[in-house]
Structure 1
Amino acid sequence: MKTLARIGCLASLLVGAAALVAPPSWADATYQLSPSTLTLEPSGSRSTGSFQVRSTGSKPVAVEIRVTERQMDLQGTETRPDAEDDFVIYPPQILLQPGQVQTVRVTWLGEPNPEHELPYRLIAEQLPIAIDEPEVAVTTAVVRINALYNFVASLYITPRGSSPNIVLESASHQTINGQDALVLQFNNQGTAHKVMTGLHLTLTSPGGQTITLSPEQLRGVSGENMLAQHQRQFTLPWPDGFPVGPVSATIDLR
């Protein structure tokens, strides 16, 4: 209901303006959201931050801003429950003219002393409200509403002193669809997220043979985001030339 009310508010703004200006075409309306990541503290002056929404098109654009939780399962699939009670977003809806930049302030209202970093998503959703001149004289305008472009940013509530602690819990051989696979399970036991850039993985067979896989060989694992207090599981092809079977492994984040 709140979203419908917001859309209605934007529609009212545009319908009211239709008597004064030519009706806009929304086909080429574009915008940008920055920064892509914002970190706030759970209390104090740093519990408020800001994003900027910039119009880059030649026509007006309507944008709605909302925040969701960021939950992630073992395979990295995100679910995003609504989190509007945890934040104040101002303004939550924007009508940008061509070239206009709007600052959006984000203030944390949730737990002032969380045990670990809390991950969220800030989503900017374009709400193109097209106002068409009617073919015959009528007293009301025709309004069409369609959601188009979304931008998704990372938003973290990070207590002071938080830090990641990435642990490789297991490395094992599995046969999947008739193919040998290496299954890795990671656990971020720390209190802050960590993007696993520069990941190197060293495997050791029971016979003492070793191999070290570079970030290029660990595509789909290296560079992945490990949220605080989250586990992730990754499946890779078994390394060529390495003995198939039980294996031990260590990681190095450089």
Structure 2
Amino acid sequence: MTKMLALKRQWRAMLAILAAIFVFVPAALAMRVTPMVLEIDSRGTSTAARIEVQNLNKGNMPYQVRILHLEFGKDGSITETPADDKFLVFPPQGALPPGGRQVIRLQWVGDAEIAASEAYYVSVEQLPVTLEPGSKEGLDAQVQVLYNMRALLVVAPPGAKPDVSALPARQLNYQPPALPGATDQPPMQDGVEVTLTNAGRRHAMMSNFGWRLEGKDREGKYLRVDVSSDELIQAIGTGYVPALGERSFRLPIPGFGPDPIKMTFIQ
């Protein structure tokens, strides 16, 4: 029991580091976009969504909205392709004063009879503005930092449902993401790789559930780690699993040995 508690503390410490990675960036941004996850239907009365953009700059902020279609690889990689023709966006661009807000409407105009859920990024991109001349006889260098925030928008066939199951998880040493601004890569992490398959025609957000991992440690003793929904959101975000697809997630949970690890969902 003492060892399990120590491993749980280590896991939470790693989550704190991951949370710092994801919280640090939005805190420094010059805009806010809400909500960050949207779900609509491909036909019927729920084919539109709204997001709000707020300017956190001290000056005016011109922006534009672009739509990108997402394809998820089994390893978690994402391929993006332009998909502005699948939505009507109003307004598609604009300019906000300091503290200003704008509600943007997104209307699906793609195929009403899609076979399965499709995922998109709504990309809100800050545009450059004309800078005032430098003060020291024009010798000052002026740099603009332009920000880009993305919301996940998923379009699903009405009535479709997910059907998610977990393959046996495994211990894995992997490279965690680097902290913002870091020049060196962090050390390899002792963790667990979980692979989820979705046989349903609707996507699934699997961080809505708790996960239970059961297996053996390196000494062959029973080891169980329960991961709450809040902890999963810090580690993997929404836990999006595509319809009729498969996706793997890596969690910084140390201590498991080489034997297969059983993964179950808990409420």
> What TM-score do the two structures reach when normalised by structure 1?
0.69
What is the alpha-carbon distance in structure 1 between the residues aligned to residue 54 and residue 173 of structure 2? Answer: 50
Q: Any conservation in 2 of the 1:194–1:227 contact (CA below 8 Å)?
A: no
2:112 aligned with 1:112, yes or no? yes
Q: Any conservation in 2 of the 1:71–1:78 contact (CA below 8 Å)?
A: yes
What is the alpha-carbon distance in structure 2 between the residues aligned to residue 211 and residue 161 of structure 1? Answer: 39
Letter paired with 2:30: T
Q: Radius of gyration: which is bigger?
A: 1
What is the alpha-carbon distance in structure 2 between the residues aligned to residue 124 and residue 175 of structure 1? Answer: 35
Comparing 175-184 with 118-127, greater Cα deviation is found at: 175-184
Letter paired with 1:199: W
2:224 aligned with 1:188, yes or no? no
Q: Any conservation in 1 of the 2:167–2:196 contact (CA below 8 Å)?
A: yes
Q: Any conservation in 2 of the 1:118–1:158 contact (CA below 8 Å)?
A: yes
C-alpha displacement at 1:31, in angstroms?
A: 2.7
Q: Any conservation in 2 of the 1:36–1:153 contact (CA below 8 Å)?
A: yes
Letter paired with 1:115: A
Letter paired with 1:164: P
Matches within 5 A, 1:17-166: 30-132=30-132, 148-166=146-164
C-alpha displacement at 1:153, in angstroms?
A: 0.5
* Structure number with higher relative contact order (C-alpha < 8 Å, ≥ 6 residues apart): 2
SS of the residue 1:81 aligns to: strand
Between Structure 1 and Structure 2, the one with more helix by share is: 2
Match of 2:16 in 1: none
What is the alpha-carbon distance in structure 2 between the residues aligned to residue 175 and residue 133 of structure 1? Answer: 51
Identity of aligned residues (%): 23
Matches within 5 A, 1:210-229: 210-215=222-227, 220=235, 224-229=239-244
Deviations 1:158-195 (A, max 9, x none): 22223322211233467889998754322122222223
Residues 84 and 180 from structure 1, CA distance in 2 versus in 1: closer, same or farther, beyond 3 angstroms?
A: closer
Deviations 1:6-34 (A, max 9, x none): xxxxxxxxxxxxxxxxxxxxxx9933222
Q: Which blocks of at least 5 consecutive residues in structure 1 are unaligned? A: 1-27, 136-143
Letter paired with 2:167: E
What is the alpha-carbon distance in structure 1 between the residues aligned to residue 254 and residue 95 of structure 2? Answer: 53
SS of the residue 2:46 aligns to: helix
Aligned-residue CA RMSD (Å): 3.7
Match of 1:200 in 2: 212
Q: Which blocks of at least 5 consecutive residues in structure 2 are unaligned? A: 1-27, 136-141, 176-187
Residues 212 and 50 from structure 1, CA distance in 2 versus in 1: closer, same or farther, beyond 3 angstroms?
A: same
C-alpha displacement at 1:113, in angstroms?
A: 1.7
Match of 1:170 in 2: 168
What is the alpha-carbon distance in structure 2 between the residues aligned to residue 228 and residue 122 of structure 1? Answer: 19
What is the alpha-carbon distance in structure 2 between the residues aligned to residue 44 and residue 173 of structure 1? Answer: 45
Deviations 1:194-244 (A, max 9, x none): 233411122379xx964322117988469633232331234567863x6x4
Residues 209 and 124 from structure 1, CA distance in 2 versus in 1: closer, same or farther, beyond 3 angstroms?
A: same
